[in-house]
């Protein structure tokens, strides 16, 4: 029986796009996501941190991305993210900045810097549209430094792409390689190599499916997959627990503020009551004094 393998689990993801054996898959993926046609298309890449089974076995909690450079010297970072947290956007920017900053060594000037592109494939939603009609726009977001008032770009060196798989509809028409990759990463575990839809039967997707089958059929690779999946679940569980505890603290703080407000209102009401009682007592005393004066005058 075939074991279901999610292509978005990091060790599988890196084996597909980050191994020297599958370098042509990375080239195809980059050209598809970046929309590079003939004349602009990436022809070759060097994977700076190629897939190595041992890196996953030694550190089950490590964050594994793909780093590469093309024939022009431009840099690329590709990462898959299963769980989403509120500071993920800041991490995206920090990771891009780390790669960009690392290009210069002592004695080099800024003219040596090359464009750096980060691509993040998200299994969950980080940015959400306000209406269902805008969902398709949020499938592929592209962030660049841009001034909207004068409509100019600061530089073409910063380029961050966010692919949000929840916004890819299984039934939508597959039109190009980008659609094929999005479909594969969202539905790959449910696909069968021998029964692929016709519009997915490209040499790249077939090769990617063969990598999935390797993790399904090879016992050592499958155990590695299970270990990484378990590490992901544990990390996700801790994040959920931390979020719940933060929510509890937030609720306790809100309750404390509410009780403090009630106490303040009760104190204010008590002080007002004392003031009113004092005023009433003073008025009564004044009436008694007036009555005593009248009696004294009569006598």
Question: Is there a contact between 163 and 117 (Cβ–Cβ < 8 Å)?
Answer: no
pLDDT at 283: 86
Q: How far is CA 19 from the centre of its chain?
A: 24
- For residue 220, the number of C-alpha atoms closer than 13 Å in the C-beta half-sphere is 4
Helix axes 10-17, 219-298, angle to 10 degrees: 130
pLDDT at 254: 77
Listed in sequence order, the residues at least 6 apart from 125 whose beta carbon sits closer than 8 Å to its beta carbon are: 84, 138, 164, 166, 167
> pLDDT of 21-38, one tens digit each?
999 999 999 999 999 988
pLDDT at 155: 95
Question: Is there a contact between 48 and 40 (Cβ–Cβ < 8 Å)?
Answer: no
pTM of the model: 0.78
Is 80 strand, coil or helix?
Answer: strand
pLDDT at 228: 84
Q: What is the spatial distance between Cα 113 and Cα 80, in angstroms, rounded to a whole number? A: 26
Question: Is there a contact between 98 and 116 (Cβ–Cβ < 8 Å)?
Answer: no
Listed in sequence order, the residues at least 6 apart from 263 whose beta carbon sits closer than 8 Å to its beta carbon are: none
User: What sign results for the dihedral spanned by CA atoms 107, 96, 239, 225?
Assistant: negative
Q: What is the spatial distance between Cα 230 and Cα 221, in angstroms, rounded to a whole number? A: 14
Backbone angles phi, psi at 118, to 5 degrees: -110, 135
Write the DSSP symbol of residue 14. Answer: H
> pLDDT of 186-230, one tens digit each?
999 999 999 999 999 999 999 999 999 999 999 999 999 898 888
In the chain, where are the structural domains located?
A: 10-217
pLDDT < 50 regions, the chain: none
pLDDT at 231: 75
Backbone angles phi, psi at 41, to 5 degrees: -60, 145
pLDDT at 86: 86
């Amino acid at each position: 029986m075939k074991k279901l393998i999610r292509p978005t689990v990091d060790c599988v993801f890196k084996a597909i796009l980050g191994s020297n054996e599958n370098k042509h898959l990375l080239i195809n993926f980059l050209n598809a996501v970046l929309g590079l046609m003939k004349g602009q298309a990436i022809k070759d890449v060097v994977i700076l941190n190629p897939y190595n089974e041992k890196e996953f076995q030694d550190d089950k909690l490590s964050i594994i991305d793909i780093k590469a450079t093309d024939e022009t010297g431009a840099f690329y970072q590709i990462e898959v993210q299963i769980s989403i947290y509120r500071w993920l956007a800041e991490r995206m920017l920090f990771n891009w900045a780390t790669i960009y900053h690392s290009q210069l060594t002592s004695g080099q000037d800024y003219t040596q810097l090359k464009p750096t592109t980060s691509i993040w494939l998200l299994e969950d939603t980080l940015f959400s549209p306000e209406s269902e009609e805008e969902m398709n726009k949020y499938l592929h977001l592209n962030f660049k430094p841009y001034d909207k008032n004068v409509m100019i770009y600061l530089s073409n060196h910063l380029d961050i792409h966010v692919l949000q798989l929840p916004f890819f509809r299984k039934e939508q028409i597959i039109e190009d390689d980008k659609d094929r990759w999005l479909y594969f990463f969202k539905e790959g575990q449910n696909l069968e190599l021998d029964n692929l839809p016709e519009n997915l039967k490209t040499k790249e997707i077939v090769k990617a499916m063969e990598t999935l089958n390797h993790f399904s059929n090879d016992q050592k690779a499958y155990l590695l997959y299970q270990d990484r999946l378990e590490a992901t679940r544990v990390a996700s569980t801790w994040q959920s627990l931390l979020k719940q505890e933060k929510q509890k603290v937030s609720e306790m703080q809100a309750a404390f503020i509410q009780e403090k407000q009630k106490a303040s209102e009760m104190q204010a009401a008590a002080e007002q009551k004392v003031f009113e009682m004092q005023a009433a007592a003073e008025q009564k005393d004044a009436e008694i004094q007036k009555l005593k004066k009248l009696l004294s005058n009569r006598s």
